[in-house]
């Protein structure tokens, strides 16, 4: 088929069956990209800089000639790379019958199709699309490129969603409850999982590096779009997760939703926290405590670090847990109409299986 232009909505559907090829430079891709996209850079970061400088300081024609010099020697390698991508690409079985393409029969049958985009849907994507189509691939070209996709991403945070919030003091096992609900068939969005951070001063320990804010937004937007017509679950979070921020529009939505608050005794939560974080490197824990010393207070900071140095990990976390409990109460109460939103669930211990069932029973009563 000829090269076919598609919208962002069409991209989201077609990407379940065909690989998305991001032809921007490696630096652009690493900063943020469409989730699941493969990087097939037309130019390196340095080549892109040379072309941009030539365009600004000399002429469009000179820049194009530089581009042709760089592109020509890469043509065969790019085609072979796409062949490798197609060999390892695993299509997603979609239940969505709406496929907005000219020839719907090709959706199920074509295993030789790819989706191509650059930053604005300009010459980079057009050039790669021409090459791949000339060789024999069927090519879908994203209109407006990644820039238009980003516009779509930002719009998702202004939409209204039907979601429930799992609340609870630090050490209540809220993330485990979230995944317990998922095992029971309830849709979830794990914000901490998307952010690679557990949401406290200690949240980065043992985690991979956090994505850039833009990439976090891309990941979140696609999750929200997936569950736009379903009730899904989230963990109660402050707006900031490590170095990242939950987009303001969606954050405001979260603050208006029912909170199912898991109330577990302090000592049980302390045992849970100590067993989880106690095995981490002492130096890392001390550095994390130092980062919050202004909020924690000088005396509490000294007590926490002193206990840790003396290998009394439990007493260290006792100090920290009092601090985080006060912080959480402040955030919880900073909601309008809290008395209507808050549903407390008494739990005797941090037990994901038992407490998941209690949450489900509580939801049944409230609906």
Q: Mind telling me the catalytic residues? A: 118
> According to the model, what pLDDT value does residue 107 have?
46
Total residues found in the chain within this entry: 367
Q: What are phi and psi of 54, to 5 degrees?
A: -65, -40
Least Cα distance to 35 among 228, 241, 222, 243 occurs for 222
Verdict on whether the full-model pTM lies above 0.85: yes
Mention every residue, 6+ apart, whose C-beta is less than 8 A from residue 217. Answer: 32, 153, 154, 157, 247
Tokens matching residue 128: 């790669």
User: Could you give the CA distance from residue 26 to residue 43 in angstroms, rounded to a whole number?
Assistant: 8
pLDDT by 10s per residue, the chain, length 367: 789 999 999 999 999 999 999 999 999 999 999 999 999 999 998 988 888 888 888 888 888 888 887 888 899 999 999 999 999 998 876 545 444 444 544 444 457 999 999 999 889 999 999 999 999 999 999 999 999 999 999 999 999 999 999 999 999 999 999 999 999 999 999 999 999 998 777 878 878 999 999 999 999 999 999 999 999 999 999 999 999 999 999 999 999 999 999 999 999 999 999 988 877 888 989 998 998 899 899 999 999 999 999 999 999 999 999 999 999 998 888 888 888 999 999 999 999 999 999 999 988 766 5
> According to the model, what pLDDT value does residue 110 have?
56
User: Could you give the CA distance from residue 10 to residue 3 in angstroms, rounded to a whole number?
Assistant: 15
> According to the model, what pLDDT value does residue 127 have?
95
User: Could you give the CA distance from residue 290 to residue 301 in angstroms, rounded to a whole number?
Assistant: 7
């Amino acid at each position: 088929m000829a090269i076919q232009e598609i919208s962002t909505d069409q991209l989201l559907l077609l990407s379940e069956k065909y690989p998305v090829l991001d032809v921007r430079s490696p630096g652009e891709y690493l900063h943020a990209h469409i989730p699941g996209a493969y990087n097939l850079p037309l130019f390196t970061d340095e080549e892109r800089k040379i072309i941009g400088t030539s365009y600004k300081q000399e002429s469009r024609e000179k820049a194009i000639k530089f581009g042709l010099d760089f592109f020509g020697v890469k043509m065969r390698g790019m085609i072979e790379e796409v062949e490798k991508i197609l060999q390892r690409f695993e299509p997603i079985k979609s239940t969505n019958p709406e496929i907005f393409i000219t020839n719907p029969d090709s959706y199920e049958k074509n295993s030789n199709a790819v989706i191509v985009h650059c930053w604005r849907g300009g010459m980079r994507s057009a050039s790669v699309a021409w090459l791949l189509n000339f060789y024999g691939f069927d090519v879908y070209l994203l209109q407006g490129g990644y820039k238009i996709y980003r516009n779509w991403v930002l719009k998702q945070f202004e939409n209204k969603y039907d979601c429930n919030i799992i609340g609870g003091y630090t050490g209540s096992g809220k993330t485990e409850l979230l995944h317990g609900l998922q095992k029971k068939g309830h849709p979830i969005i794990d914000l901490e999982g998307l952010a690679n951070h557990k949401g406290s001063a200690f949240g980065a320990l043992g985690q991979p590096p956090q994505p850039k804010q833009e990439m976090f937004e891309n990941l979140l937007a696609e999750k929200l779009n997936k569950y736009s017509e379903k009730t899904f679950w989230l963990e109660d979070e402050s707006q900031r997760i490590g170095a990242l921020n939950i987009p303001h529009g969606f954050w405001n939505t979260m603050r208006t939703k029912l909170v199912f608050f898991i109330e577990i005794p302090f000592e049980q939560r302390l045992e849970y926290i100590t067993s989880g974080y106690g095995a981490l490197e002492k130096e890392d824990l001390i550095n994390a405590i130092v980062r919050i010393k202004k909020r924690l207070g000088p005396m509490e900071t000294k007590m926490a670090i002193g206990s840790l140095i003396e290998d009394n990990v439990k007493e260290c976390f006792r100090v920290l847990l009092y601090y985080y409990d006060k912080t959480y109460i402040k955030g919880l109460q900073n909601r309008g109409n809290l008395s209507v939103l808050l549903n407390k669930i008494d739990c005797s211990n941090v037990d994901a299986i038992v407490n998941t069932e209690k949450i489900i029973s509580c939801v049944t009563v409230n609906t």
